[in-house]
Amino acid sequence: MQGIRRGRGAGRGAGRGTVSPSVWDREGDPCRESGGAKDRELLLAAAYVSDAQYNRNVQFETSPQAIRLYHFYNHWTMRAATYFFIWVDLALALFEEPAVFPLPFLVTSIAEVLCLTAFFGRLVHFAKVTPQKVFWKDTKNICVMVTIVLTLIDLVIYASLEAVNIRGVRWSRALRPVFLINFPESRQIRRAFRSIRNTLPDILYVFLLFLFSMMIFSLMALKLFGDRDLRTVEGSPYFTNILDIAFELYVLVTTANSPDVMIPAYELNWWYSLYFIAYIIINTYIFMSVFLAVVYNNYRKHLKNEIHTLAYLKRHKMTEAFNILKVKVGTEFVVKEARWRRLVKVVAPGISSSHLELLLRISDEGQTGHVDKMNFLRLADLLNIRVVAINIKKHPLETWMPRVYQSSTSLLVQKMVQHRIFVWVYDVIILINAIFIALDEKDSLISYAEWLFLSLYIIEILLKLYTYEPSAYFGRKQVDCVLFPARKYNSQQVLDIVLILRILRLLRVIVSIQRFRVIVTTLINIGPTMLTFGGLVLVVYYAFAIIGMEAFHGKVHFLDPGSGSPEAAVCGNPALKDSAFARGRYCKNNFNDLASSLILLTELTVVNQCFALLADGFALVTRQAAKLYFIGFHVVVVILIVNIFIAFILEAFFVAYSLEKSEVETAIEKKIQELGVGVQEEDMKDGGLIDHVDTKDSGFSADEGGNKKRDLRGLYFRIASKKYKTVDTLLQQMFESEIAPEGKDPSLEEILNFSPKKLNFDNSA
Amino acid sequence: MQGIRRGRGAGRGAGRGTVSPSVWDREGDPCRESGGAKDRELLLAAAYVSDAQYNRNVQFETSPQAIRLYHFYNHWTMRAATYFFIWVDLALALFEEPAVFPLPFLVTSIAEVLCLTAFFGRLVHFAKVTPQKVFWKDTKNICVMVTIVLTLIDLVIYASLEAVNIRGVRWSRALRPVFLINFPESRQIRRAFRSIRNTLPDILYVFLLFLFSMMIFSLMALKLFGDRDLRTVEGSPYFTNILDIAFELYVLVTTANSPDVMIPAYELNWWYSLYFIAYIIINTYIFMSVFLAVVYNNYRKHLKNEIHTLAYLKRHKMTEAFNILKVKVGTEFVVKEARWRRLVKVVAPGISSSHLELLLRISDEGQTGHVDKMNFLRLADLLNIRVVAINIKKHPLETWMPRVYQSSTSLLVQKMVQHRIFVWVYDVIILINAIFIALDEKDSLISYAEWLFLSLYIIEILLKLYTYEPSAYFGRKQVDCVLFPARKYNSQQVLDIVLILRILRLLRVIVSIQRFRVIVTTLINIGPTMLTFGGLVLVVYYAFAIIGMEAFHGKVHFLDPGSGSPEAAVCGNPALKDSAFARGRYCKNNFNDLASSLILLTELTVVNQCFALLADGFALVTRQAAKLYFIGFHVVVVILIVNIFIAFILEAFFVAYSLEKSEVETAIEKKIQELGVGVQEEDMKDGGLIDHVDTKDSGFSADEGGNKKRDLRGLYFRIASKKYKTVDTLLQQMFESEIAPEGKDPSLEEILNFSPKKLNFDNSA
């Protein structure tokens, strides 16, 4: 048997204990994939477990030290530290001129050098756990190194100029988001950027058509209105210059100057409004929808493709690991139980023995003493499923005075508190409280009512503490909301807001209705991935903010309007006299520090009248070319990023709706449940029950179940993240079910050619 | 054979010459389906052709008279007349008080009675060609009748009140769109309405969640800002009343008052802007995307379902027709050629004999003298494909002076004109002309240039007339653009605009690039269906405009600002003194007549600052409740209709992109080409060539091909609408390929149960 295994292993060009470098080549990123796939680690460990001998073909060490180093690289403290330094680096813009909180240049530059050192250290660590060839082929690493060097050069130049009192431009600051994008941890942001890059060609073609349409409309406007000597509301000439017209029409696409832009023509003759209506239908509605369609289509295509590839790559690595460990038993290749145990312990050193047993029972259903290929391939997924072991404790009061606690009155109280109606009654109380908050609080009756509500909430807390086991009760986050007001009662408004947050408890009622549940669950599911967009938006905003600060810093000032000085009325800049910008009190929308810039950019994203006002305002105080900055921002953020965001939400909901229909449950989850039913029927039923109840009454059901089963061994498993999954995980599971279960695996080359365009994967690690 | 056929026919519960009433039950609409399916007519004709005898089971007459009556009902003149009266009826609002062009009540009421008579006549005609039971079951017909009666009652009441000088309310005017919706011709609009109705429940749940989120934010705003004694830019109290806050926050969702609504809080402390940013992310971006997701998901689901059902229903009817006509030959049932010819001639009396031969050759490939079931089922589709017979004529100059025309110089000129570079040169000339138009035209050089361009265009026309056969050249629409300027040269501006329209010729260049072609083709494809949305929007706008006119008529007046009267500055209403409404010169946005109302509603659709201004303005001059009118309009138009519009464009592009990939060509089209190659290879090749060239050089290729093939019989077929199909047709073809080709047809009951909800089809006819 052993011989056959070895023979086969050698036949594949790599003996046991080896991993073909091609896997590394394409997946140079050792960080966990979305959902924390363990396939990479398993492959490493398999090479180690097989006999822990080195082999000429091995591209890297498979010693325990190497695995530990790798482990350490992926350890959460290291990753947290990296993120910490990335954020410190980005936050430096708050303290550098123009600053929100000014700090001397020496302090910020030392902080920056510290960050750069940390990034360099992280890079060196990464180089240690990656084959050299792979490391140098990865553009990410090169990118980070170049940025570190450039930043150092910039720092030195700036400091030297400072020393001789010349003010330089800290241009390298716009490069800071590079660290956020290029560190392996930011896979999601990179994927979003890749998605944008892949969409660009298609967007470009639509954009050209859109420009063509805008050009024709501009020419028509010039000929229709140019000679009529019309005046805008502001009194300036109306539609006389082709460039002005083009800008106004572009702004009309953002709907920012509708209907102001058409008022002069409309006052002349109402037929002219048809021109603008035609323009809006074609350019605002149709073209903007086409942009969305193109972005969404590409997003879906590339997402599907990437996830498809990820799923196959995982399978490929698991197959390699299996081939390293397999022995032939009977007619099929399997992995022996002992070896399997060693492997799991290497990969997950902290695993509890009961968890290990559970996994073994799932992998080795027939208890044959070995794990077959199909079940082995699932190991990475099994290790990724967080299984929670729940200890069922008695209520302390029951331990201290069992007779009183078990008396009929006490039991009645407990039953009452556990009853659904108890929850409903408090929901109604919260609703009434909400209405009281909305009413005028100066009324003394209402302020008494506030005290009444507070007492009711305290009674609720006491009753629940009496009924439920305290550690379980306090373990829930929700408790914070309940206790919060008591601590901070000195501020009436904070109390009110906390009470308003309590209203969120009503979400529970909403979630208990099936139709609402899909929506709320999906909204919660997309939460984590939204952070990706947060990162993406931050990167773009940061770069635009730095540019904006260099270009428009100090042009507009916010002076306290209370002072009554004439300066305040024109935002400290005489060029803004009589402008809509100053009249609308937009002075605080400026580029004088990072926070203001970011808020201004957010306002621009919402495109509205402010878009036109701001563009005009800044064009007044600087140059007309300033408008290009605003149009550029609109194209990048609204046409690209907002559309990708919408596409993402659309896709998330479509996946949610399609899953709602087919009720897809992954094979693994089903198996755990099946097995659970086989091993300890009652327990698992409760587990299921708890999951069920959990969704409806977020909070206390674990103990409800527990109370009933007190006589069982007090430990059962629950899949921690069953209800709430990221969209990625859902998609991955959908595709995994598509992959043929046995033997028909495509080769690595085939996997990597799934992509519609090859460039898709050049940087995919 | 005959016996077997009869036996089978009787076995199905209906002898030959009969059609089971169930087909009528569900498809009471005799109008052609999208793409003009002939299945219904074929079924009727089949019953007639089979032996033209009446049968007890026949629910309707299958005499030539009945078919003629049916034909007449569907004749384009009748349908055009119906539409004419519908539009006249709707347009009456232009002439009734408050009127754009006032007419006495007597005139408008007589016109209205005339329209009602026409609608009634159309209904009677429809009743004649439909089984009674079906007619009375159809809610459409009842609806139209009730509306006719109600309108008459309203007219009588209003006239009586007018006679005694009391001003009544013409409430029935809001019902006028009912005629547009309910006439059988408006199937598409009804489908859009059904789509909305089906989406409503899902939308409602999201809307409730959205309101819940808004409520929480409103309460938070009240507590955060209510006591701070802040003032808005206008100087009114800021965020002190919960209802005002709710309205402001709703408007913020439309982005109409961003960032004005946040300025007072932002000036106090920039941290407060985080509240607004959170609100915008959650309610503007996420919830609005969820609305789109829900609408799109439902749209896709129901569209797929309806088209699936239509495709199956068509097949079902064709199968019934086949069963009526079939005889057994050998082992399979077929329709004899003679009977097939009679059938086609009954259905398409005007068909040319060559066209009939072509169809027969397609249907009876092996020339066996009979048509099998599979080919028979395609007959409706075959009849729907417009086949154009093209006669190839010689150039008149060639006939008159062949030697001169065929001389080497002449041939060189022809070759030059036919060459691609000739087209390119003129594209460049048009581009240069466009740039000249954009420049200042007062310059004398440029006005000389205009003459130069005009001469160049005339030379182009002459050269093309010399090269191409004139009837082919003039047959193209494009010629209009070329000749237009010469006719109307008295007006410089009209000339310029026509020249600008010439720039559209550049679209040709764009279309020749593959990437652009998909976009442009799809945009052109969705054109016809856009009219559906035009109808839908019109119905909603019309109802809102009538209500708005009743509620807000005469509150705001547009007075010539040149007069300088104080009235003009406040739009004739003192309540608007110092309001942003009057300051922004919004006076012309009023409800004083239908045209103004419709334009105002269009502006509201584009939601912008004007939304807030208009809502505030009208709330000032009437009551605060006026805001409800504006919010109601926003919910109906922006959340529902605009999203359906976007969903439609998204779907159209996804279909286009997926077809681009697979290059689906329907079996029939392929067969025509295959057959074409078999029968007259050269001809069909040219046909293909022409289609190809057509896309690139819209216009003159028919003769290019023709010139070369002058010796052939001068007639070949071309599928007229090959490139440009409606989205519906594309979808229908996609689903037809899914339908099993033989024998596995679902029953009528099964077909009608495809729908996820049954109500979907209650009104589907």
Q: pLDDT-derived band of residue A151, with 50, 70 and 90 as boundaries?
A: very high
Q: Is A715's pLDDT higher than 60?
A: no
Whether A227 contacts chain B with CB within 8 A: yes
**Quick check: A347 and A362 in contact, CB under 8 A?**
no
Q: Which residues of B touch A218 (CB under 8 A)?
A: 438
Q: Residue B116: what pLDDT?
A: 93
Q: Tell me, what amino acid is at A379?
A: L
Cβ A584–B233 below 8 Å, yes or no?
A: yes
Whether B538 contacts chain A with CB within 8 A: no
Q: Is A591's pLDDT higher than 60?
A: yes
- Partners of A102 in beta bridges: none
Integer Rg of chain B from CA: 32
Q: Residue B152: what pLDDT?
A: 92
Q: In what order do the strands lie in the sheet containing A370-372?
A: A327-329, A332-336, A370-372
Cβ B608–A609 below 8 Å, yes or no?
A: yes
Cβ B588–A263 below 8 Å, yes or no?
A: yes
Written as six digits, the tokens of B223 are 């507590």
**Smallest Cα distance from B305 to chain A, Å:** 15
Look at residues B503, B359, B365, B373 and name the one whose alpha carbon lies nearest to residue B438: B503
Cβ B606–A220 below 8 Å, yes or no?
A: no
Burial of B162 (0-12, 13-18, 19+ CB in 10 A): middle
**Smallest Cα distance from B604 to chain A, Å:** 9
Q: Which residue of B has its CA nearest to A520?
A: B209
Q: Residue A479: what pLDDT?
A: 39
Q: Residue A558: what pLDDT?
A: 72
Cβ A608–B256 below 8 Å, yes or no?
A: yes
Average pLDDT value for chain A: 71
Q: Residue B148: what pLDDT?
A: 92
Alpha-carbon distance A430 to A457, whole Å? Answer: 9
Q: Is B231's pLDDT higher than 60?
A: yes
A-facing residues of B in 568-627 (CB < 8 A) are 584-586, 588-589, 595-596, 599, 602-603, 606-610
Whether B675 contacts chain A with CB within 8 A: no
CA count, 13 A, side-chain hemisphere, A65: 3
Whether B246 contacts chain A with CB within 8 A: no
pLDDT higher at B466 or A47:
B466
Q: Is B207's pLDDT higher than 70?
A: yes
Q: pLDDT-derived band of residue B59, with 50, 70 and 90 as boundaries?
A: very low
Q: What is the mean pLDDT of residues A611-632?
A: 71
Q: Residue B673: what pLDDT?
A: 59
Q: Residue A60: what pLDDT?
A: 45
Written as six digits, the tokens of B158 are 């209003």
- Partners of A371 in beta bridges: A335
- With a CB cutoff of 8 Å and minimum separation 6, the contacts of B133 are B21
pLDDT higher at B605 or B668:
B605
Q: Is B74's pLDDT higher than 80?
A: no
Alpha-carbon distance A186 to A130, whole Å? Answer: 18
Alpha-carbon distance B747 to B286, whole Å? Answer: 43
Q: Which residue of B has its CA nearest to A439?
A: B242
Q: Residue B624: what pLDDT?
A: 67
Q: pLDDT-derived band of residue A500, with 50, 70 and 90 as boundaries?
A: low
Q: Is B622's pLDDT higher than 80?
A: no
Q: Which residues of B touch A447 (CB under 8 A)?
A: none
Q: Residue B113: what pLDDT?
A: 92
Crossing angle of the two packed helices A187-225 and A242-253, in degrees rounded to 10:
130
Whether A406 contacts chain B with CB within 8 A: no
Point out the least confidently predicted range of A27-31, A441-445, B422-426: A27-31
Return phi, psi of residue B722, to 5°. Answer: -80, -45
Cα dihedral B191→B192→B195→B201 (10° resolution): -130
Q: Residue B151: what pLDDT?
A: 92
Q: Residue B342: what pLDDT?
A: 84
CA count, 13 A, side-chain hemisphere, B492: 10
Point out the least confidently predicted range of B157-171, B274-288, B415-429, B729-743: B729-743
| Most confident segment among A364-368, A491-495, B728-732 | A364-368
Q: What is the mean pLDDT of residues B620-627?
A: 68
Whether B205 contacts chain A with CB within 8 A: yes
Whether B152 contacts chain A with CB within 8 A: no
Q: Residue A136: what pLDDT?
A: 85
Q: Which residues of B touch A506 (CB under 8 A)?
A: 212
Alpha-carbon distance A361 to A717, whole Å? Answer: 13
SS (H, E, C) B355-368: HHHHHHHHHCCCCC
Our measurement of the distance from residue B628's CA atom to the centroid of its chain's CA atoms, rounded to an integer in Å, reads 31
pLDDT higher at B489 or A644:
A644
Q: Which residues of B touch A280 (CB under 8 A)?
A: 602, 606
Return phi, psi of residue A764, to 5°. Answer: -70, -20
Cβ A223–B290 below 8 Å, yes or no?
A: no
Cβ B220–A438 below 8 Å, yes or no?
A: no
Q: Tell me, what amino acid is at B184?
A: P
Alpha-carbon distance B37 to B52, whole Å? Answer: 23
Three-class SS state of B730: helix
Q: Is B555's pLDDT higher than 60?
A: yes
Of A220, A297, A506, the CB nearest to B657: A297
Point out the least confidently predicted range of A275-279, A751-755, B541-545, B615-619: A751-755
Alpha-carbon distance B446 to B442, whole Å? Answer: 8
Q: pLDDT-derived band of residue A206, with 50, 70 and 90 as boundaries?
A: confident
Interface probe with A: pick from B205, B211, B216, B223, most Cβ of A within 10 Å: B223
Q: Is B765's pLDDT higher than 60?
A: no
Interface probe with A: pick from B603, B607, B651, most Cβ of A within 10 Å: B603
Q: Which residue of B has its CA nearest to A511?
A: B209
The tens digit of pLDDT for each residue in B38-53 reads 666 777 777 766 654 4
Cβ B493–A227 below 8 Å, yes or no?
A: yes
Q: Is A114's pLDDT higher than 90?
A: yes
Alpha-carbon distance B341 to B353, whole Å? Answer: 10
Point out the least confidently predicted range of A540-544, A717-721, B60-64, B394-398: A717-721
- Partners of B237 in beta bridges: B231
Cβ A649–B520 below 8 Å, yes or no?
A: no
Three-class SS state of A666: coil
State the pairing for strand pair B387-391/B715-719: antiparallel
Alpha-carbon distance B626 to B647, whole Å? Answer: 30
Q: Is A106's pLDDT higher than 60?
A: yes
Q: Residue B486: what pLDDT?
A: 39
**Smallest Cα distance from B234 to chain A, Å:** 9
Point out the least confidently predicted range of A200-204, A393-397, B187-191, B476-480: B476-480
Alpha-carbon distance B195 to B298, whole Å? Answer: 7
Q: Residue A28: what pLDDT?
A: 35
Whether A224 contacts chain B with CB within 8 A: yes
Q: pLDDT-derived band of residue A52, with 50, 70 and 90 as boundaries?
A: very low
Consecutive H or E run containing B390: strand B387-391
The tens digit of pLDDT for each residue in B624-640 reads 667 778 888 888 887 88
Q: Residue A56: what pLDDT?
A: 36
Q: Is B17's pLDDT higher than 60?
A: no
> What sections of B396-443 are H helices per DSSP?
396-400, 402-405, 408-418, 420-438
Q: Which residues of B touch A290 (CB under 8 A)?
A: 519, 523, 649, 653
Q: Residue B280: what pLDDT?
A: 85
Cβ A608–B603 below 8 Å, yes or no?
A: no
Q: What number of C-beta contacts closer than 8 Å exist between A and B?
A: 218
Q: Is A582's pLDDT higher than 90?
A: no
- Tokens 């803004």 sit at which residue? A576
Whether A10 contacts chain B with CB within 8 A: no
Whether B256 contacts chain A with CB within 8 A: yes
Cβ B233–A277 below 8 Å, yes or no?
A: no
A-facing residues of B in 284-323 (CB < 8 A) are 284-286, 289-290, 292-294, 296-297
pLDDT above 90: percentage of residues in chain B = 3
CB atoms within 10 A of CB B337: 16
pLDDT higher at A725 or B694:
A725
pLDDT above 70: percentage of residues in chain B = 65
Q: What is the mean pLDDT of residues B388-398?
A: 67
Cβ B259–A606 below 8 Å, yes or no?
A: yes
Q: Which residue of B has its CA nearest to A642?
A: B285
Q: Which residues of B touch A646 (CB under 8 A)?
A: 285, 289, 292
Q: Which residues of B touch A200 (CB under 8 A)?
A: none
**B327 in the Ramachandran plot: left (φ > 0), alpha (ψ -120 to 50) or beta?**
beta
pLDDT higher at A89 or A651:
A89
- Tokens 């509205």 sit at which residue? A608
Of A233, A277, A657, the CB nearest to B585: A233
**A103 in the Ramachandran plot: left (φ > 0), alpha (ψ -120 to 50) or beta?**
beta
Q: What is the mean pLDDT of residues B153-177?
A: 85
Q: What is the pTM of this model?
A: 0.72
Whether A203 contacts chain B with CB within 8 A: no
Of B266, B503, B653, the CB nearest to A216: B503
- Tokens 């108890």 sit at which residue? A422
**Quick check: B423 and B697 in contact, CB under 8 A?**
yes
Cβ A223–B602 below 8 Å, yes or no?
A: no
Whether B559 contacts chain A with CB within 8 A: no
Q: pLDDT-derived band of residue A117, with 50, 70 and 90 as boundaries?
A: very high
Instruction: Please give the ipTM for the structure prediction.
Output: 0.71
Q: Residue A76: what pLDDT?
A: 82
Written as six digits, the tokens of A403 are 């007779």
Whether B650 contacts chain A with CB within 8 A: yes
Interface probe with B: pick from A100, A243, A508, A602, most Cβ of B within 10 Å: A602
The tens digit of pLDDT for each residue in A686-699 reads 333 333 333 333 33
Cα dihedral A614→A615→A617→A619 (10° resolution): 160
